[in-house]
Amino acid sequence: MTSPTLALPFGLAATAASGGSAASPREAEREAIEACRRGEREAFDRLVEQYQRDVYRLCYRYVNDHEDANDLAQEVFIKAWRAIGRFRGESAFSTWLYRIAVNACLNFRALRRPITQELPETLADPVPLAAARVESDDEARRVRAAVSRLPEKQRATLILKIYHELTHEEVAEILGSTVGTVKANLFHALGNLRRLVGEERR
């Protein structure tokens, strides 16, 4: 689920201010990126406003902690600012930004390991199925904790596909993988998530 964005999409704010016609959000974003490449910090602030929620939530899914997600999200934008001169528009800006975020999260976890006991890639004996129903915040916390215990690639795939509603192709591009691998990882992630939540309940 993509988070509801409080900020006005690109172009709308300018339209409201000027009363005239404005570029499409995509065009406005492209112009903002060009302005950033010229060193205009105000333009980057608009990009931050547009994407900060998604980046924060992606980071939160990885680390399952507000403070860590906050630090990571800021680092992602600082890295993006430093690297935006090299962004050539060959992929969507969001895809490029997510790639930075995923790498930052992976590096963070590598440095902080072990935060939680991660699930091995394969499970021998699946836990018997039980009703999958989230009835409380406690259950939501259990699910988030289970997500953070998934193997790296499965976790990344599930977060990008389910929570950010990216296409298989976009996820593959971000993770440097193939579409087939993304689909397989997603399927295994879903099954493993179910089992891990079962463990968290016990």
Partner 1 sequence: MTRHLSDESLLRLVQGDSAEAERAHLSACGRCAERVEEARAGLTLARRADVPEPSPLYWEAMRLRIGRRIAEEPRRSPRWAWLAPILATAAAVAVVTLTTGRAHAPVAHPGPTLPAWSALPPAEDDVSLGVLEAVAVADGDLGTDDEGRGVSAFLAGLTDEEYRALADSLREAGKGGES
Judged by the rule CB under 8 A, the positions of this chain that interact with partner 1 are 1, 3, 6, 34, 37-39, 41, 44-45, 48-49, 52-53, 56-57, 60-61, 66, 70, 73-74, 77-78, 81-82, 85, 126, 129, 132-134, 139-140, 143-144, 146-147, 158, 162-163, 180, 183-184, 186-195, 197
Would you say 60 or 96 has its CB closer to partner 1?
A: 60
**Comparison of 99 and 194: residue with beta carbon closer to partner 1:** 194
Q: How far is the CB of 109 from partner 1 (least distance, A)?
A: 17
Q: How far is the CB of 64 from partner 1 (least distance, A)?
A: 9
State in angstroms the smallest separation of the CB of 41 from partner 1.
6
Give the list of residues 6+ apart from residue 101 with CB closer than 8 angstroms, or none.
Answer: 55, 58, 59, 72, 73, 76
- Cα dist. 95→16, 42, 116, 150, 201 in Å? 28, 22, 28, 22, 35
Least distance to partner 1 from the beta carbon of 82, Å?
7
Instruction: Give the Å distances, CA to CA, from 46 to 33, 40, 43, 121, 199.
Output: 10, 11, 5, 40, 43
Q: Which is nearer to partner 1, 92 or 143 (CB)?
A: 143
| Separation between Cα atoms, residue 132 and residue 198, nearest integer Å | 9
Half-sphere exposure of 131 (CA within 13 A, CB side): 3
- Nearer of residues 6 and 111 to partner 1, judged by Cβ: 6
Closer residue to partner 1, CB minimum distance, 20 or 84: 84
- Least separation in angstroms between residue 103's CB and partner 1 is 18
178 phi and psi angles, rounded to 5 deg: -105, 160
DSSP state of 11: T
